[in-house]
Structure 1
């Protein structure tokens, strides 16, 4: 005898719907439990991270590293969320004071006379790398072949690659700093002083009697430190820009350790060996292939390569190295090269180079560094 089921199609449908609802409810409850557990886990991790960051020596060290790194970027104000606004002000003041101190010691280094016959290439470039950074060291074997070059158009800076191409230079790097409101400056208003071919091209010192400079004297000896205009004239400074700090003097490093290295960033550093060769260190940063370096890293690279004096130049998004009309490194700016007021360029015949003073007759106090220029 054949037995027939009591369930009608409608009853089976209702039963199936109930099972679907129960299945969905179980999934929803499981998801809610997962989210709740994840939230609790994140809270525990966040609490543990906060305890580590604010109540342990290693955590405090990490917070200051992050803050110092932010200070070197266009998001300097973010550092207050890491160490507090008052501590940020204190930190910046402490660095400024320390940088001033690092420029005070008398520089006693001497260089060998440039030989009349030199079999080395005028410019050599070699890659350098370290923990988290990559870059290049450009060696200029005759320091007297280096000149400061400035833009050729009133109202805006110029890319280093453009300066190299325009003047027929062999190579070049970015040099001094400039007023850069909200990191949108036109690159035309230098900070401090610009000296080219022994003449003052730009004087934005105001009432300041001393200024930190980085440059070269008439004999090719590198000059870096805190000096007055009279002292610079007596020293025979020929090419110079304002920037700091000096990180090596008389063959010894002035940056004590990585904690005093002013954060991680793209860097440009200038140094000199006893044989007179000038070295430009360019470190990429804020990129996957190279996060950047602190000043202690740069100091050690320069010492390892024989520097007896070295000083920091403008870095960050300005850092660039150009050789044979090609950009060698990878600038950090998302727009590529920045427009800058000064560059150290290398020439076969620097005396034949004409560098007009683009700031002649201008009042530094009336130059608008944030004026938008069509490019």
Structure 2
């Protein structure tokens, strides 16, 4: 046989040897698999036990229930209000909202004893060296929030501003720049379908320069009001438009609640503080000084937000006699010297709004046009951009 044929045959006859795993390695692999399965089911059991314990605490204990309602109240003030039903149920959600509005109405029943004593040049001469700046800004903070306190030393320097064009709201920063204001904050609420409204249609009443600019009800329909009269005194509570005109109210928007009356806080605890959220609130001290609390929120690592009870405590510490809530949430903004100096919560940037509180050096010389004049409120489309 030829040598090359013999070599080829031998190669063909060579067997491939496959190394089998040893019994010891196979046992180790089975043990590892078994350990992983055991760990998985052990972890799952722990999580189920923790979940069960948390559910029992969350739904059946007083502290858990308090947290649950606080979370529900927080959701009520956002565009995800319907989510609150998963925490407290649809029926309880409706009851909760109704209870708050009844509570707000109860706050208005406390009579204002007019404890604010306004300083005037005739009654309190002020030397030039003692004159305070028109506005001052201080940082404020609490356990879960940070914000600014805007102090306006002359209440008569405040005006309610409205958008410059028909059909769409306007950013507060734009109003400040357009009208030449020193500072500005957001003011009243507005019709906001699906939280995507154009900011043009206010809710309730708007008064600027002593004239009614907008009224979606009758002249004898009561509204929750936050405003200032001709003497610079803050007016907050529930009033009819006819009453406000008789009282000489110069600037006003609709929002609620009034939560400090005669220097006494009406909100008794955190549970009644209407959830944690970005806030804008207004107050007045005994000497007439106006304060705005602007609280950032919905920003972990910076500021989660505050309850109205938190704001009430801040105002009382600063000597507030009267205080009321304004629109908040994504609308909350503070502008000073044409710059936004807080951190608004809106992911889309500063919102378009129908009203703002602006501070002016010479408010009497400011012309604010009534863009709603001649319009039928029922025919305004707040969703059309």
Same structural fold, with TM-score higher than 0.5 when normalized by the shorter chain: yes
Q: What's 2:244 paired with?
A: 232
Q: What's 1:101 paired with?
A: 106
Shift of 1:21: 5.5
Q: What's 1:205 paired with?
A: 217
1:209-358, aligned counterparts within 5 Å? Answer: 209-288=221-300, 289-358=302-371
Deviations 1:12-31 (A, max 9, x none): x2125x76655544333322
1:1-375, aligned counterparts within 5 Å? Answer: 10=17, 13-15=19-21, 22-109=27-114, 110-115=116-121, 117=126, 119-205=131-217, 209-288=221-300, 289-371=302-384, 373=385
TM-score (norm 2): 0.91
Alpha carbons 1:114, 1:276 under 8 Å: kept: no
Shift of 1:312: 0.2
**Matched residues in 2 for 1:349 and 1:201: separation?**
21
**Matched residues in 2 for 1:79 and 1:347: separation?**
41
Answer with 19-28 or 153-162: which moved more.
19-28
**Matched residues in 1 for 2:253 and 2:47: separation?**
50
Task: Count residues with an aligned counterpart.
Answer: 363
**Matched residues in 1 for 2:192 and 2:173: separation?**
20
**Matched residues in 2 for 1:22 and 1:363: separation?**
83
Answer with 260-269 or 106-115: which moved more.
106-115
Shift of 1:114: 3.4
Q: What CA RMSD, in Å, does the superposition of the two structures yield over aligned residues?
A: 1.7
**Matched residues in 2 for 1:230 and 1:361: separation?**
20
**Matched residues in 1 for 2:371 and 2:25: separation?**
79
Alpha carbons 2:281, 2:293 under 8 Å: kept: yes
Shift of 1:107: 1.2
Alpha carbons 2:219, 2:240 under 8 Å: kept: no
Deviations 1:166-208 (A, max 9, x none): 1110000000000111110110110100000000000012597
Q: Which has the larger radius of gyration?
A: 2
**Matched residues in 1 for 2:280 and 2:78: separation?**
15
TM-score (norm 1): 0.93
- Partner SS for 1:182: helix
Q: Which runs of 5+ in 1 are unaligned?
A: 1-7
Q: What's 1:3 paired with?
A: none
Alpha carbons 1:114, 1:142 under 8 Å: kept: no
- Partner SS for 1:224: strand
Distance 1:19 1:155, change over 3 A: farther
**Matched residues in 2 for 1:153 and 1:31: separation?**
67
- Partner SS for 2:17: helix
Alpha carbons 1:164, 1:345 under 8 Å: kept: yes
**Matched residues in 1 for 2:218 and 2:32: separation?**
71
**Matched residues in 2 for 1:127 and 1:94: separation?**
33
**Matched residues in 2 for 1:49 and 1:65: separation?**
16
Shift of 1:305: 0.5
Deviations 1:286-320 (A, max 9, x none): 11211110011000100110110000000001000
Deviations 1:233-262 (A, max 9, x none): 111000000000001011111111111100
Alpha carbons 2:219, 2:241 under 8 Å: kept: no
**Matched residues in 2 for 1:29 and 1:191: separation?**
65
Q: What's 1:5 paired with?
A: none
Alpha carbons 2:163, 2:175 under 8 Å: kept: yes
